[in-house]
Amino acid sequence: MAMIRATVLEAAHPAIGAALIENSTFVAHPWRRLRNTFLSMQRMVGADDEMREREAARLNRMHARLKGTGPGNRPYDAMDPSARAWVVAALFESSVTMFRLSGQPLEQSFMEELYAEFLAVLATMGDEPGYLPGTLPEFWRYFDKVVEEELENTEAMRVILYKLFDHLPAPPLLSGLPTLWATGRALAAPLVGVVAVASLPESFRRRAGLPEMPGAQTLMQGAYFAVGLTRFLPASWIDPEYLINLLALSPDSDDPRARTLAALHSRMRRAGALLRLITPFPAQPEPTAATPPSASPSASAHRKDTEEFFREVLDQTGNGSLDWPDLAAMARELSSRLDLDEPEETRLYQAFADWWRELQAALDTDGDGSISAEEYAAAAPSLAGPALIRVAEVLFDVTDKDGNQHIDADECRTLFRTAFRRDPAGAGGATYTRSAFVKEFLAFMSGRQRTTPFDPLLAEA
């Protein structure tokens, strides 16, 4: 709940909101984004100095690529130290608020110690001191000033509050139970939005014109207090890393816990089938016209597959079109999974940039700088050009850590670790030669084959 609140406050900052709406995958791939964010936070606050420095360097390289022009032609730059300071400020203030609302207010000395640790995160990132105040009393004045003078009702904030949770896809754990997930989401999504709005600073709620439902404050305080009671549960039950990994677990993975999940899914599907069997079907309207000859079943199925591939794989940011930020998001996800250093990461980004230029030349028929689903469907074979082959070759090189021109089972696990569904130690193992890897990658990225590990790698939510 603190993360949701902090994200809303971050998105209300004009520069951060513009960067999020233009470049982030939080709409189309929220669970992947949550997992990656949590991993990054673990690294940044861990005890390993080398790991912290390495993660800070990776984040700086990522932020350096996020710049552009947002609404009102206002430029944004993710390396802006004042915007980065606000991200840290929102996380710290939301953490303190979470403890206060859950009935565990922090002592002053503990807050000062916690604030010093948040300041250390900015220092590790290499930002100059001064963008966040040096003392806690000064911080509260700074926070109130930013809330009063800089935060706005941005598009990114509205998406988080009023769209994200209404359309939140199921995590891998519940991907086989769409009815159960849709029912729970329909009940919980409005409540999450109400609680998130009610927890924001009152002055900002008024200025941004955010509606507040009757009883919202009571609901919000009750929700935080109920979450606070989880501290009495066994620690292993509420460990964030365990919970996130559990949500990311697919029932058909090779994790031992997956067998229990698969059995549970099977029982729930049978119960759902029985319910549908004993429930009368609603009356169906009679067809009014014959299906046009042009809309053959095979053509309809192909169109549906094309639209699904465009939406789930190519449109990483979820804005309905294919743009450079979508391919940059793919490069970012692959670089993060493989934990690439600067030279290899730059090679991968450059390969994706070359592919984007090739796609624009081949598919952007109206010259608007982006590729629509219709433009993609009309010229999909052009996806598998020389530049995409280069992407596949670079990805093979950076995955093949030992340089033996063969991706072994361990290297495969590194690339596909959150969705890998085969046992590498099994018959023959899961390995690739260069030609086999390039062939399978091209088949996937051109939309011709959706049964490879690349599908959950880039399409998972």
Per domain, the residue ranges of the chain are 2-232, 299-459
| Tokens describing residue 220 | 């919000």
Of the options 3.40.640.10, 3.90.226.10, 1.10.238.10, 3.30.420.40, the CATH number for the domain spanning 299-459: 1.10.238.10
Where would I find the beta strands (DSSP E) of 334-456? 371-372, 406-407, 432-433
* Selection from 120, 155, 4, 19 nearest residue 79 by Cα: 19
Residue 61, pLDDT score = 94
Phi, psi of 75 (to 5 degrees): -70, 150
On whether the CB atoms of residues 371 and 320 are closer than 8 A, the answer is no
On whether the CB atoms of residues 220 and 199 are closer than 8 A, the answer is yes
| Tokens describing residue 437 | 């890897």
On whether the CB atoms of residues 328 and 23 are closer than 8 A, the answer is yes
Helix then strand then coil, in percent of the chain rounded to 5, is 65, 5, 30
Q: Please name the residue ranges forming H helices in 47-80.
A: 49-64
Strand bridging mode 321-322 / 67-69: unpaired
pLDDT in tens, the chain (461 residues): 888 999 999 999 999 999 999 999 988 888 888 888 888 988 998 888 999 999 999 999 999 999 999 888 889 999 999 999 999 999 999 999 999 999 899 999 999 999 999 999 999 999 988 899 999 999 999 999 999 999 999 999 999 998 888 888 888 777 777 788 888 888 898 899 999 999 999 999 999 999 888 899 999 999 999 988 888 888 888 888 888 777 777 666 666 666 666 666 666 666 656 555 665 555 555 555 444 455 556 666 666 777 888 888 899 999 899 999 999 999 999 998 888 999 999 999 999 999 999 998 888 888 888 999 888 887 765 577 899 999 999 999 999 998 899 998 888 888 876 543 333 333 334 688 999 999 988 888 877 777 667 777 788 77
* Selection from 424, 346, 436 nearest residue 392 by Cα: 436
